[in-house]
Amino acid sequence: MRVQQVDGGAAYGLERRGVISALAVAGIAGPIVFVLVVVVQSLLHPDYSQVKLPISALAAWPGGWVQSANFVVFGMLTIANAIGLHLGVRPSRARIVGPALLVLSGVGLMISGAFSWKAVDGDFVVPAGHLLGALLSFLGTGIGFIVVSRRMAADPRWRGVAMYALASGIAIVALFVMTFALVIPLGAPLHSWGGLVQRVTLAVWFPCMVVLALRLLRVARTAKEPR
Residue 6 is predicted with a pLDDT of 41
Is position 75 within any domain?
Answer: yes
Residue 14 is predicted with a pLDDT of 63
Residue range 39-62: average pLDDT?
95
Could you report the per-residue pLDDT of 89-134, keeping only the tens digit for each? 998 777 799 999 999 999 999 999 999 999 898 789 999 999 999 9
More confident residue, 81 or 93: 81
In contact, 137 and 82? CB cutoff 8 Å: no
Nearest 10 degrees: Cα torsion 210, 214, 215, 217: 140
Confidence of residue 3 (pLDDT cuts 50, 70, 90): very low
Could you report the per-residue pLDDT of 135-162, keeping only the tens digit for each? 999 999 999 999 999 999 999 999 999 9
Residue 224 is predicted with a pLDDT of 59
Domain range for 45 is: 8-221
Count the Cβ atoms, other than its own, within 10 Å of residue 190: 15
Residue 95 is predicted with a pLDDT of 79
Is position 115 within any domain?
Answer: yes
Is position 3 within any domain?
Answer: no
Is position 169 within any domain?
Answer: yes
Could you report the per-residue pLDDT of 24-40, keeping only the tens digit for each? 999 999 999 999 999 99
Is position 1 within any domain?
Answer: no
Could you report the per-residue pLDDT of 169-210, keeping only the tens digit for each? 999 999 999 999 999 898 999 999 999 999 999 999 999 999
| Alpha carbons 27 and 12: distance in angstroms, whole number | 23
In total, how many domains does the chain have?
Answer: 1
Beta-bridge partners for 120: 123
Angle CA 208–162–196, to nearest 5: 30
In contact, 213 and 24? CB cutoff 8 Å: yes
